[in-house]
Structure 1
Amino acid sequence: MKTYLLSSILLVLTLFSINKTQAQQMDNDTNNYVVLTKKVPQLQPIILTAEALKAEEGDAFGDFQVIICGKEIGDITNVEKMGNFIEKAEKAGVHIIACGFSLKKFKVDKTKVPKKIEVVDNGILYNFQLQKKGYKSISL
Structure 2
Amino acid sequence: MKNILLASFAVILSLFTNLLQAQTDHEEHADHINYVVLTRSVPQLKPILLAAEELAAQDGEKFGEFQVVVCGKAVQDLTNKEMMNGFLQKAEKAGVIINACGFSLKKFNVKRSGLPETLRVVENGILHNFELQKKGYLSIEL
Specify the TM-score bucket, using the shorter chain as the normaliser: 0.7 to 0.9
Aligned residue pair count: 136
TM-score (norm 2): 0.83
Mapped to 1, the partners of 2:124 and 2:60 lie a distance apart of 31
TM-score (norm 1): 0.84
For the 8 Å contact 2:26–2:135, the answer to whether it is kept is no
Mapped to 2, the partners of 1:93 and 1:120 lie a distance apart of 18
Residue 25 of structure 1 and its aligned partner are, at CA, apart by 3.8
Mapped to 1, the partners of 2:58 and 2:73 lie a distance apart of 34
Q: Does 1:96 align with 2:98?
A: yes
Deviation track 1:111-140 (CA, whole Å, cap 9, x = no partner) reads 110000001111111111111111111000
CA-atom RMSD, angstroms? 2.3
Structure 1: segments with no counterpart, 5+ residues: none
Change (3 A) 1:109 1:57: same
Residue 28 of structure 1 and its aligned partner are, at CA, apart by 1.9
Structure 2: segments with no counterpart, 5+ residues: none
Aligned to 1:115: 117
Q: Secondary structure at the match of 1:84?
A: helix
Q: Secondary structure at the match of 2:37?
A: strand
Runs of 4+ more than 4 Å apart = 11-23
Identity of aligned residues (%): 53
Mapped to 2, the partners of 1:38 and 1:46 lie a distance apart of 12
Aligned to 1:74: 76
Q: 1 or 2, which has the higher helix percentage?
A: 2
Mapped to 1, the partners of 2:46 and 2:135 lie a distance apart of 26
